[in-house]
Every structure is written in C-alpha cells, then in structure tokens.
Structure 1
Amino acid sequence: MSVEDTGEILNDIFGMSLGQAKYLERFITSKKLSNLLELGFAHGVSSCYLATILKENGGGHLTTIDLASAVHRRPNIEQLLDKLNLKDYVSVFYEYESYNWRLMKFIEEYGQPLFDFCYIDGAHDWNVDGFAFLLVDKLLKPGGWIIFDDMDWSFGSSPSMREMPRVVNMPDDVKNTPHIAKVFDVLVKNHPDYGNFEITDFGWGIAQKIH
C-alpha cells in the first residue's frame, strides 16, 4: 500500500494531509530513517502515514505517544492501524498527562539514543514541548532529525480552543505567541548540537542533531 492509497482511506479524518505525508516520504526515504518517534497522534492519521512509509521502505518501527483520552476518539489510532494492517510497525503509548512522562521512562530504561527521527505535533505549549525537546535530545541519535509541526499556531488563533476558560484567562502574550516557534527559535536554534534548520511551506520547523 502506497502513501497515496493510505491517503484515500484517511481522507475524511482530521490529521496530517496527503501533501505533508508525501513530503515526509521523500524526507524519510532519502535520509534512510527507520526508527521513528512521534509525539501526539490524535486519531492516528500521521502515524498511519509514517507506518506506511516504513512498510514501503522495507522495515523500521514507529513509537508514538499521546494522552490516554485519545483512545476514545472515533476512529482511534488502533482502529486505523488495524484497518490498514500496519500494527506491526507501530508501538502506541497512552499517558495520563504528557508524553514527557513516557520519554523519561525511555531515558531511564535504555540510557542511550534510540531514534533517528522525531515528529512533534502535540501540546503546542512552551512548558510541555520545550521540555519535550530536551528529553528527545537525549533519545535522538547523532545525525537524527526533528520536525516540529504548527510553527505559526497559537492558543488565541485556534477556533477550537480560544473560547476555553483556560485560554481566555491567559495573558495576551501567552495566548497570542506561537509557542512552538519559541521552542524552535529559543531552544533548538541556540543548541550547540543542532543545525541544518529549515522552515517549510507547511509551517514545519526542521532541525538536525549534527553532533
């Protein structure tokens, strides 16, 4: 099954677009990436695309993490993976509060880099994703890559979140600042071990661990 075939099945489900998936297919294939980490999967659309890419490339594995509440989505990630016969390529983890707890467990358990790629499309929050980057850094192999989704997203611009009491009560700068752009500009670009920075037309921030 190709990325295009997967896209036809997932077309009406909220998540990654086919255009983004085809970009990732070129990116992952050209750089020979095979041990993937994903932070935030929602319904699992992006996870299915990543697993499809691995299957098409002849092997590899995706580890993906989201909140426990994601199991109640319809469809949910496991239903989609079953439908597409991709479960063997994916390990799904559910966490109560944040994927950072699972990242801590990985660091404790393995004590060395595991992944050559990480796709972050989760909390979109400075406090969560700034710390997530520092944890991912400990798990990312030298030469590995990180892609941050939604560089231009803010709580105040989100149709689904801007009226929530939590967001209404935020200070204006917290509400209207794109948090992922701050993570990328303040933490990633200033980190001595990262380079080859790029901002794509999709609003993705890309960086490579060069040391």
Structure 2
Amino acid sequence: MPDKKWYPDSLKVGAQGTSSTYRFLESIYKKHDEFSYAEFGVYRGDTARNVAERFPNATLHLFDYQETIDEAIIKLSKYQNKIFYYGNSQKYHDSYNWHLGKILKNNPHTTIFDYCFLDGAHTFSIDALTYFLCDMLLKRGGHIDFDDYAWRLRGSSLDPRKVPSIAEQYTDEQIDAYQVKMIVDNIVRPSGKYREVVKNKIFQKL
C-alpha cells in the first residue's frame, strides 16, 4: 500500500526558487569553485537548478520527499554537477534526518558540507535536529542558511484549514508558533558557534 500523501502539491514558492540564497553563494564563491551544497526541502528544484547553473563544479546533496526528488532528477538531468539525491516517504516519523543520520554513520568524524540550506519542514520537531546534524557535518567556515524566519503554519500553504492533517500533527500553540525563529533564537545564536552573516538567515560556522 502506498504511503498516505498528505503534503499539498502546490506551495507559495516562486519559479526561480530562493534567490537570496544563490545570490549569497555568488558573493562568497567564484563560478568554478568546488564546494559541497546541501539543500533540505527541494520542492520544484529551482533553487538547486540555479546553484547548478551558476556553479558547475559544485557538488549538490538534495533532500526531500521521494516524489519531489524524482521531479528534481528530471529537472537537473542536463547539469554536469555531481548530484546526490535523498528521498524520504511521507510517513509522519520519516524525514531527511534519517538520511543525515546515515551520512554521519558512513562518514564518522568527517565534515562534508560547505553550505546547508534549510528550507524543509520549518518545524521545531524536525529542523531543530536537522540543525544539530548539519552542524556535525558542516566544515569550519561553512554556512547554514535558514529560510522563512518569520513563517508559521497558520496562514501558510499548510494551514490546517487547507491541510486538515496538520491539526492532527500539531497543537494550536505549535501551529501559531514561528518555529524557524525558535531554532535560530534559542539554539543557533546562544551556541556561540556561529557568526550571523545575513540577519535572521545565514550563519557562518566559527
């Protein structure tokens, strides 16, 4: 039996992806630089496409639901970058963190990412752990990029009025909370391990 598909097919995301992310990459890397870029929450693959176009020697690690990854594989097939894909199911307790755990297991005491763009679940229960796992895999001087600091489930494409299963998964307090902000304000900044490069968004590992 296939997994229950609860995630909506359409989200409020522009066709060019998150330009602030790949524009920032252009400010720190030259076109032919080699670096390792991880993206959590690929959606239509447009941010990754822009990264691949601008940096042909970059290695991309892309994480999302398997059906989304399947679309990204087609969209990015013409690029010559080394691209690794990690698809997970829509089961409630499955996420890209499982793949990160396996990467850690296979690369003990090794940092492999130069840049992590966290644009996935936007929830504390998943992405707080993602931050810690990325921190373990992120090189010194590397960057972690948080999308949607001021985002919450209420009023978004995942509002429980549009996606009823959200009300089954989260309390009203969690639906109304700015959960990315919670991660940035209560974990990242107090850690003392990062320098804030772009306010509320991009942090460099010291």
TM range (shorter): 0.7 to 0.9
The secondary structure found in structure 2 opposite 1:189 is helix
Is the Cα contact below 8 Å between 2:113 and 2:137 reproduced in 1? Answer: yes
CA contact (8 A) 1:63 1:90 kept: yes
Residue from 65, 68, 71 that aligns with 1:70? 68
Letter in 1 for 2:127: D
**Within-5 A mapping of 1:94-105:** 94-96=87-89, 97-105=94-102
Contact in 2 for aligned 1:126/1:180 (Cα 8 Å): yes
Summarize the Cα distance change of 1:118–1:46 in structure 2 as closer, same or farther, 3 Å threshold.
Answer: same
**RMSD of aligned residue pairs (Cα, Å):** 2.4
Q: Residue 166 and residue 180 in structure 1: after superposition, are their counterparts in 2 closer, same or farther (change >3 A)? A: same
Does structure 1 residue 16 correspond to structure 2 residue 5?
no
> Which among 113, 121, 124 is matched to residue 123 of structure 1?
121
Within 1, Cα distance between the matches of 2:171 and 2:20?
35
Q: Could you tell me which residue of structure 2 aligns to residue 81 of structure 1?
A: 76
- The equivalent of 1:192 in structure 2 is 192
Counterpart for residue 4 of structure 1: none
Higher helix share goes to which structure? 1
The percent of aligned pairs where both chains have the same amino acid is 24
1:49 maps to 2:50: yes
| C-alpha distance in 2 between matches for 1:176 and 1:33 | 40
Residue identity matched to 1:98: S
Alpha-carbon displacement from aligned partner over 1:16-57 (angstroms, at most 9, x marks no partner): 154653343224449x671111111012111111112221xx
Q: Distance in 1 between matches of 2:115 and 2:127?
A: 16
Partners of 1:153 and 1:100 lie apart in 2 by 21
Deviations 1:162-201 (A, max 9, x none): 31223345433211111111111111111132223532xx
Q: Which runs of 5+ in 1 are unaligned?
A: 1-11
Runs of 4+ in 1 over 6 A off after TM superposition: none
1:14 Cα deviation (Å)?
A: 4.2
TM-score by length of 1: 0.78
